[in-house]
């Protein structure tokens, strides 16, 4: 299993994960649920009108934090915005209700991936695995 697939699998098990950015010098975190693995690249998405998207474009250093049972994962990297109509079609297939809402309101879904990523999966008392993604 590839490292990107390991992160994807952990996030799927966790279902909800936390996406961490900064707003100036203030840390910001919020729950996320959408991510998809395509051709061994992990993609995230959110509305381009949201503060989180503005924050990750202003400072692309971000972290994802997920908890599953007695393990947690930290995955950090540099957010890179991706413009790809084929990927947006995959998002539309995965989340048709959300994308319909975006269409009705004239909102844009912003897709991004993390470059130069590093992930670590830890138990409550010990490190299980660390790897570059």
Q: Please tell me the distance from the alpha carbon of residue 86 to that of residue 73, in angstroms, as a whole number.
A: 29
Query: Tens of pLDDT along the chain (133 residues)?
Result: 999 999 999 999 999 999 999 999 999 999 999 999 999 999 999 999 999 999 999 999 999 999 999 999 999 999 999 999 999 999 999 999 999 999 999 999 999 999 999 999 998 777 677 788 8
* One-character DSSP codes across 20-32: EEEETTEEEEEEE
pTM of the prediction? 0.91
Cβ-proximal residues to 130 (8 Å cutoff; 6+ apart), any chain: 118, 119, 120, 121
Architecture of the domain delimited by 3-132: Roll (2.30)
């Amino acid at each position: 299993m590839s490292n990107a697939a390991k992160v994807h699998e952990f996030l799927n098990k966790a279902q909800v994960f936390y996406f961490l950015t900064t707003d100036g010098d203030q840390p910001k975190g919020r729950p996320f649920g959408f991510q998809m693995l395509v051709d061994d690249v992990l993609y995230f998405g959110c509305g381009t009108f949201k503060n989180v998207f503005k924050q990750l474009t202003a400072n692309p250093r971000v972290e994802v934090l997920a908890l599953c049972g007695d393990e947690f994962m930290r995955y950090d990297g540099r957010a890179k915005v991706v413009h790809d109509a084929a990927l947006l079609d995959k998002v539309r297939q995965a989340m048709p209700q959300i994308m319909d809402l975006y269409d009705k309101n004239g909102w844009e879904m912003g897709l991004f991936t993390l470059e130069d990523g590093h992930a670590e999966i830890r138990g409550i008392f010990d490190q299980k695995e660390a790897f570059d993604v």
